[in-house]
Amino acid sequence: MTDSLDNLRDKIDQFVTERDWAQFHTPKNLAMAMIVEAAELVEQFQWDTPQESQQLTPEKREAVSHELADTFVYLLRIAEVLKIDLIEAANAKIELNAKKYPVEKARGSNARYTEYL
């Protein structure tokens, strides 16, 4: 059974509460922790070729999944602390990006939107 975002957030909140860690979960600390975990994710691919990064061994897949999970947990936690609905924020950002990157200009291109304004 797949957990919903709400269930996962509740599980994280319970984990934090049981350990009395909320006192340390300021937006600054959580953002910094999230970046550290994201760097550990990058480290998993640091010396890989593009092809190697797409063909993970079972051991590397597990290590990558752990780093993704750590990053995701901190992302959820900072959103919770700041009372930001991530689903709502992501939907709003997709709408903004659709305007910044119209299909007719962006399709097949990795150019930054400022390059084709």
| 86 touches 79 (CB < 8 A) | yes
pLDDT in tens, 11-70: 999 999 999 999 999 999 999 999 999 999 999 999 999 999 999 999 999 999 999 999
Residue with tokens 């901190």: 74
Distance in angstroms (rounded) separating the CA atoms of residues 56 and 40: 16
The class (CATH top level) of 5-84 is mainly alpha
User: For the residues of 24-78, what is the DSSP string, one character each?
Assistant: G--HHHHHHHHHHHHHHHHHTTTT--HHHHHS--HHHHHHHHHHHHHHHHHHHHH
Amino acid identity, residue 59? E
pLDDT in tens, 96-110: 999 999 898 888 888
pTM: 0.86
Domain boundaries defined on the chain: 5-84, 87-117
